[in-house]
């Protein structure tokens, strides 16, 4: 979290629009933190999107497009890699943003398979809130064991490996 994943997705989708490519952006319907329909970064940059409840809905709605963007991919079901591969087979460029690990440091949802089958993977990192090194982990700062818990700085902090280990002792 707080590494600029959504910011980068928005930047890439806006560039595709400038290039006159037809784009469609999808987000999980469960993500209503900033807006019910727009993908919004922590810096409040936004782009219109279509909220969907399942990955399969993306295939139904991604018609007549050149580029598909998908935000918060970790919240989608395990069909997302199949959907992304189908879109790529159709000749559609697919840009996916999501957390690769959950708050416990385990691979998150469909992300491992997406990363394994992607042509390109760009990992962006936040800065550790405790020591200033690159952060690889999203440490949950509140008591809640649910895997999916929407939150911001009140619930999560980015930590490096060392600080994450200390925080979970």
> pLDDT for 80-123, tens place per residue?
999 999 999 999 999 999 999 999 999 999 999 999 999 999 99
> pLDDT for 153-168, tens place per residue?
678 999 999 999 999 9
CATH of the domain spanning 5-124: 3.40.50.300
What does 69-91 look like in DSSP terms, one character per residue? EE-SGGGS-TTHHHHHHHHHHTT
Q: Which of 7, 8, 72, 119 is catalytic?
A: 72
Whether the pLDDT of residue 1 is over 70: the answer is: no
- What is the pLDDT of the chain when averaged over all its residues? 92
Q: What are phi and psi of 101, to 5 degrees?
A: -130, 150
Report how far residue 102's alpha carbon sits from residue 93's, in angstroms, rounded to the nearest whole number.
26
Give the pair of three-digit tokens for residue 122.
């760009």
Domain ranges of the chain: 5-124
Report how far residue 6's alpha carbon sits from residue 74's, in angstroms, rounded to the nearest whole number.
13
Q: Is 119 a catalytic residue?
A: no
Residue of 113, 120, 62, 112 whose CA lies nearest to 90: 62
Cα R_g (the chain), whole angstroms: 16
């Amino acid at each position: 979290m707080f590494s600029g994943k959504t910011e980068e997705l928005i930047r890439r989708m806006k560039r595709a629009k400038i290039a006159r490519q037809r784009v469609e952006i999808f987000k999980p319907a469960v993500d209503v933190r900033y807006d019910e329909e727009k993908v919004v970064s922590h810096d409040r940059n936004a782009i219109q999107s279509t909220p969907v409840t399942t990955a399969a809905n993306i295939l139904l709605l991604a018609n007549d497009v050149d580029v598909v963007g998908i935000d918060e991919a970790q919240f989608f079901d395990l069909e997302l890699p199949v959907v992304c591969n189908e879109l790529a087979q159709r000749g559609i460029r697919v840009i996916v943003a999501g957390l690769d690990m959950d708050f416990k440091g385990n691979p998150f949802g469909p992300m491992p398979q997406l990363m394994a089958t992607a042509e390109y993977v760009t990992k962006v990192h936040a800065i550790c809130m405790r020591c200033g090194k690159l952060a690889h982990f999203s440490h949950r700062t509140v008591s809640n064991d649910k895997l999916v818990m929407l939150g911001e700085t009140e619930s999560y902090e980015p930590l490096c490996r060392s600080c994450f280990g200390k925080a979970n002792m």
